Amino acid sequence: MRRRTTPAAAPDGPVTTGAVELRGVAHAYGDRQVLRGLDLTLTEAKIGVIGANGSGKSTFARLLNGLALPTAGEVLVDGLSTATQLRAVRRRVGFVFQDPDAQIVHPTVAEDVEFGLQNLGVAAGERAERVTEVLGRYGLAGHRDHPAHLLSGGQKQLLAIAGVLVMRPARVVFDEPTTLLDLANKRRVARVIAELDQHVVVVTHDLELLAGFDRVLVFDGGTVVADAPPDDAVAAYLDLMSGR
Ligand SMILES: Nc1ncnc2c1ncn2[C@@H]1O[C@H](COP(=O)(O)OP(=O)(O)OP(=O)(O)O)[C@@H](O)[C@H]1O
């Protein structure tokens, strides 16, 4: 299954307006309730999401672009409901998966990045320009005709990010973007995220990644137990985990 989302081409580049709102949101997989009682208005440019394994972070991330739909309540992205306006939501919110192999499906680096633009109906000339620009920005220009599957783990993660950003979504959700990376590549991806113009939500176990973020949500048992600037949120998380 193709897992890349397809945000719309924005002729003047990404624009983030409004908010992501969760109103009375819960999510269950079958009988299993994994998120509950979420009432949040997300307006900050850089939001982190931390918490124990299984606390519901990835499910929360997937709610933000309609990869998962709430089983109660509603999620609104800039006023668009993920339940009833899914296509428009997907165009606004790019999603970068933890495992870049889940996102890379085309043989060469350039073809892989171009794929989403073809899907959007972007003309060939503009596709070529945008692919060249994004590959340059992420240090992949020298690899454009190389087989994507032969890239290193860090390069693959950058390619997956490039493949989402080339479509110029207004917002980007990252699900554990540095988990598979060495220190140098973790720092590179952290820098990429720090420099993005788009509003981002980043699920991570990498607490260093949160430096400079505006707001961090701490999940436990399917709900938000702390919601604060990074230092306070990390302290609350460490406190929570110290008893386990
Ligand atoms: N597709 C699914 N079907 C059934 N249960 C699921 C599914 N996806 C996740 N779960 C369950 O939902 C709960 C929350 O999972 P989720 O992946 O959202 O947590 P997480 O906080 O991201 O965990 P981790 O830090 O380990 O990635 C877990 O108990 C998990 O087993």
Give residue 31 CA to ligand 1 midpoint distance, Å.
13
Q: Which has the higher per-residue pLDDT, 89 or 154?
A: 89
Say which CATH class 20-242 falls into: alpha beta
Is 13's pLDDT higher than 70? Answer: no
> Does residue 51 line the site of ligand 1, with CB under 6 A?
yes
Please provide the average confidence, as pLDDT, over all residues in the chain. 90
C-beta of residue 218 within 8 angstroms of C-beta of residue 241: no
Task: Work out the pLDDT band at 12, boundaries 50, 70, 90.
Answer: very low
Mean pLDDT of 191-215: 95
Give residue 58 CA to ligand 1 midpoint distance, Å.
7
Give residue 30 CA to ligand 1 midpoint distance, Å.
12
pTM of structure: 0.90
pLDDT at residue 16 in the model: 54
Give residue 230 CA to ligand 1 midpoint distance, Å.
24
Mean pLDDT of 154-158: 89
What pLDDT, in 10s, does the model give residues 161-190?
999 999 999 999 999 999 888 888 889 889
Q: Which residues of 178-212 are buried (b: 16+ CB within 10 A; e: fewer)?
A: bebbeeebbebbbebbeebebbbbbbbebeebbee
- In order of 54, 99, 186, the CA distances from 102 in angstroms are 20, 6, 19
Phi–psi pair at 39, nearest 5 degrees = -125, 100
Closest ligand 1 atom to the C-alpha of 203? 22
Percent of the chain beyond pLDDT 70? 93
> Does residue 53 line the site of ligand 1, with CB under 6 A?
yes
Task: Work out the pLDDT band at 61, boundaries 50, 70, 90.
Answer: very high
> Does residue 244 line the site of ligand 1, with CB under 6 A?
no
Give residue 219 CA to ligand 1 midpoint distance, Å.
12
pLDDT at residue 212 in the model: 94
Highest mean pLDDT among 16-20, 78-82, 100-104: 78-82
ipTM of the complex model? 0.97
pLDDT at residue 120 in the model: 86
> Does residue 31 line the site of ligand 1, with CB under 6 A?
no
Is 2's pLDDT higher than 60? Answer: no
Q: Which residues of 47-73 are buried (b: 16+ CB within 10 A; e: fewer)?
A: bbbbbbeebbbbbbbbbbbbbbebeeb
Residue nearest to atom 30 of ligand 1 (CA): 54
Q: Which of the listed residues 29, 49, 62 should we mutate to test ligand 1's pocket, taking the one with most ligand atoms within 8 A of CB?
A: 29
C-beta of residue 49 within 8 angstroms of C-beta of residue 201: yes
Give residue 93 CA to ligand 1 midpoint distance, Å.
21
What pLDDT, in 10s, does the model give residues 210-219?
999 999 999 9
Is 11's pLDDT higher than 70? Answer: no
> Does residue 229 line the site of ligand 1, with CB under 6 A?
no
